[in-house]
Amino acid sequence: MAKDPRLERAGVAGYNKPKRTPSHPTKSHVVVAKDGDQVKLIRFGQQGVVGDRQPTARQASFKARHAKNIAKGKMSAAYWADKVKW
């Protein structure tokens, strides 16, 4: 089976495997998200901004502000930003 051209174009190892994009002008990460038969290239995260790994007010604010989008699952940029950066 041939490799999906979206995987090669994004430079990721496989579906649902995020990767940093240090040379992208605005977005810090990329992932080719796959949920069932649906496949989507998602760029997420602001370049140069680091999330908080320990519970902080800043982290809680991000999660509260984006809760609806995070709940949409793998096909949303907020889900991946929450998982990878926060």
> Whole-angstrom Cα distance, residue 51 to residue 38?
28
What's residue 3's pLDDT?
80
Identify the band that residue 4 occupies on the pLDDT scale cut at 50, 70 and 90: confident
pLDDT, tens digit (0-9, with 9 covering 90-100), for 18-67: 999 999 999 999 999 999 999 999 999 999 999 888 999 999 999 999 99
Contact, 32 vs 19, CB < 8 A? Answer: no
Token pair for 24: 């992208």
pLDDT band for position 1 (50/70/90)?
Answer: low
Task: Give the start-end residues of each E strand in the chain.
Answer: 19-20, 27-35, 38-46
Which of 2, 1, 3, 35 shows the shortest CA–CA distance to 16? 35
Specify whether the CB–CB gap between 80 and 31 falls below 8 A.
Answer: yes
